[in-house]
Structure 1
Amino acid sequence: MVVDEQDALFYTRAALEAHCPGEGRITVHPTPGSSSPAALAHDVLYAMGKRLAPGPGSPDVWLDSVDAAWLAAAAWAGATGVRHMVVARAHLLTLQRIGRLLAWRTATGVQLTLLWQREARKLPPVLAQVERRLSGQGEFTALLAERGPIPARPFFPPRPPTPPKHAPGAAVVAGQSSVRLPRKARTASAAPDLPSRRCAGAMATAQLVPAAPALPVASRDAAGLHALTHPLIAGALSVLAFTRVTLGALRSTRDLDITGDVSVVKIHGTAHRACGLFEVPEWARPLLAGARAHHRLIPDPTGEGVFAPVMRGEARHLRAHAARLCRLDLTGIAGVLTP
């Protein structure tokens, strides 16, 4: 907590200049006068480089839900390696929004600094108990130079237990991908009718067969995918862009089908008769990490795949975003989604 009773320009300017997502430090300047319940979560997403689709009937209307917006903000924070978040003008926030910020901090482990630019005696009880309170310009400058509590770009290490090293693996999704693996990289599933939970994950399969190279995606198109706010939509469309697999295959992608460093993803074929390994290009790794982080932040009692919820509940939004990214030509792939 930084208390600036005089509302000195120094603190706001220093906070804005410290904004550097590439180093894991972001500064959020809350939108003044916004009555939207999810507005502060939108501001956090904006600080991380995410942009809401504009206009009426926006495919990002799901972000009007406070829980969904804060969940997305938590997923992206972990996937992109946010270590420290500074929030300016915190004295203008409602108690409810302050509570949401504190809950977000607990969920992510990110260091949170609030600029309280008002008298200290007006701090609400929940903030008056903050142990570390700064009030000098030198202390604030030193705080901004500190490294946060988590390393940059952690990509969420894989959950234990690790799949067996010699579990049956597979290579390419036969007849469904435009990418062809070399003959030596192809293998049929040893037990094609086993459910997906019995099919080996990406790490185990990568020890048996090489991954197919990713299809090229222009940097401009990759930037468009990076701006998407929904982690599952961004992750799903990025996989479709660099693999051109079908959505039916992508629907079954599980947590363990993405390696710990997000360098390889496994896509399942029909009835697991043939499954495919694909290299994940550098630009797409934070997007897949965001999708997996989102998956891990919500209960998953059904054991559905990482992308299954967005294909079912948010299918129209996925289609709309695919249509907006016309240069990637994903409309034919996304058009088969059920409403």
Structure 2
Amino acid sequence: MALAYSDVTIVVDERDDLFYTRAALRAHRPEEGHITVQPTPASRSPAALAHDMLYALGKRLAPGPNTPDVWLDSVNTAWLAAAAWGAATGVRHVVVPRTHLLTIRRIDQLLVWREVTGVQLTLLWQKAPRWLPPALARVEHRISSREEFEALLAEPGPIPARPSFPPAPPTMTRPAVVAVGPGQSATRQPWGTRSASTRPGRRARPCSGAMATAQLVQAIPAIEIASEDAAVLAACAHPLIAGALSVLAFTQASLGSLRCTRDLDITGDVSTIKIHGFGHRHCPLYAVPAWARPLLAGARAHHRLTPHPLGESVFAPVLLAEARHLRAHAARLPRLGLSLPAGVLVP
């Protein structure tokens, strides 16, 4: 028997029929927006279920007693990371077996996460329905057969909620010639890709975003990295860590440039990113390699899910207060040469 409320469906499997568990595990198809989260109710961490969600999304917390992912022990931080990855990867349907073993607090966390992400949520309650907590008992629609359960798992699910962000203000696009070094060709860049004036007493012209810049200049090809290193970056649990390190890896840009990276510096399709130089005198555009696009999408989704002033840096939280976590993750990728620059994040 199954009960549905809004986009939440509760499958009551009082006899603990192995069929339902097997069907739920087969429904794990991340590439299609379907994931199955297997909870670890024995864990005492308040963020344990969020960690299980991250694991189902293909993310791995760094191991060890002094793990750089210790900040993900915070409930809000961990669930925000899971929401960002869910939005970035287009998750539409989440199935959670053995929900009856979860505490009421963790069930509430899961329901709040569903409200944020807008996904369809199916919970397997493998216990008598009289033990359903109040949050799950307000259900009207019922599904009573295996066939209907399989049909539910086969549905594509709703279009997931997407974080919104105010559109970038219009920018000037009058071209300007930028000085180039030996062996490089002159590139015409729009006003806004560099400072209008660096003389004392005059404010720099606002720097245009990636979309406006891409209309006038060609993106610089990304630096190639080994597939093993790309896989390590892709498994980083926190979206800002994964996004920041990926940008450093394929651009070899300075950390100061990352401090200025705004939401509008990443194009809508996450194919290009704009990097800012000191005083915006030279702000090149880089092509984003395919492996890094989901990571930058996760960083941008994380930024959009939290309140920020327009124009604030996407990576500000990891470049300042939590810089030690970025340093620790960078040290895990010695071949990329990120350990040294990450070590001077804090002024």
CA contact 2:271–2:288 (8 Å) conserved in 1? yes
What is the CA-CA distance between 1:74 and the residue it aligns to? 0.2
What are the within-5 Å matches in structure 2 for residues 31-180 of structure 1? 31-150=40-159, 159-164=165-170, 166-167=172-173
CA contact 1:192–1:271 (8 Å) conserved in 2? no
What are the within-5 Å matches in structure 2 for residues 5-44 of structure 1? 5-44=14-53
| Pair 1:200 & 2:204 matched | no
What is the CA-CA distance between 1:146 and the residue it aligns to? 0.3
TM-score (norm 1): 0.91
What is the CA-CA distance between 1:144 and the residue it aligns to? 0.8
Q: Deviations over 1:266-293 (max 9, x none)?
A: 1111011111100011110110010011
| Pair 1:183 & 2:189 matched | no
Quick one: distance in 2 between partners of 1:122 and 1:288?
42
Cα gap change, 1:170 to 1:47, in 2 (>3 Å): farther
CA contact 1:4–1:117 (8 Å) conserved in 2? yes
What is the CA-CA distance between 1:33 and the residue it aligns to? 1.0
Quick one: distance in 1 between partners of 2:70 and 2:204?
32
Cα gap change, 1:171 to 1:51, in 2 (>3 Å): farther
CA contact 1:268–1:275 (8 Å) conserved in 2? yes
State the one-letter code of the partner of 1:184: T
Cα gap change, 1:174 to 1:304, in 2 (>3 Å): farther
Quick one: distance in 2 between partners of 1:173 and 1:241?
25
Quick one: distance in 2 between partners of 1:173 and 1:85?
52
Cα gap change, 1:329 to 1:16, in 2 (>3 Å): same
Quick one: distance in 2 between partners of 1:288 and 1:60?
19
Given the alignment, which residue of 184, 206, 210 partners 2:218?
210
Which secondary structure state, in structure 2, belongs to the residue aligned with residue 274 of structure 1? coil
CA contact 2:163–2:301 (8 Å) conserved in 1? no
Q: Deviations over 1:150-183 (max 9, x none)?
A: 27xx9x68844344364467899989xxxx8642
Taking every aligned residue pair, what percent have the same amino acid on both sides?
A: 67
Which secondary structure state, in structure 1, belongs to the residue aligned with residue 121 of structure 2? strand
Which secondary structure state, in structure 2, belongs to the residue aligned with residue 58 of structure 1? coil
Say which is worse superposed, 64-73 or 214-223, in terms of deviation. 214-223
What are the within-5 Å matches in structure 2 for residues 213-292 of structure 1? 213-292=221-300
What is the CA-CA distance between 1:337 and the residue it aligns to? 0.8
Cα gap change, 1:94 to 1:147, in 2 (>3 Å): same
CA contact 1:172–1:276 (8 Å) conserved in 2? no
CA contact 1:29–1:43 (8 Å) conserved in 2? yes
The structure that has the greater radius of gyration is 2
Structure 1 unaligned residues grouped into runs of 5+: none
Work out the number of aligned pairs and report it: 332
Q: How large is the Cα RMSD of the aligned pairs?
A: 2.5
Cα gap change, 1:238 to 1:197, in 2 (>3 Å): farther
Cα gap change, 1:128 to 1:158, in 2 (>3 Å): closer
TM-score (norm 2): 0.89
CA contact 2:88–2:294 (8 Å) conserved in 1? yes
CA contact 1:192–1:272 (8 Å) conserved in 2? no
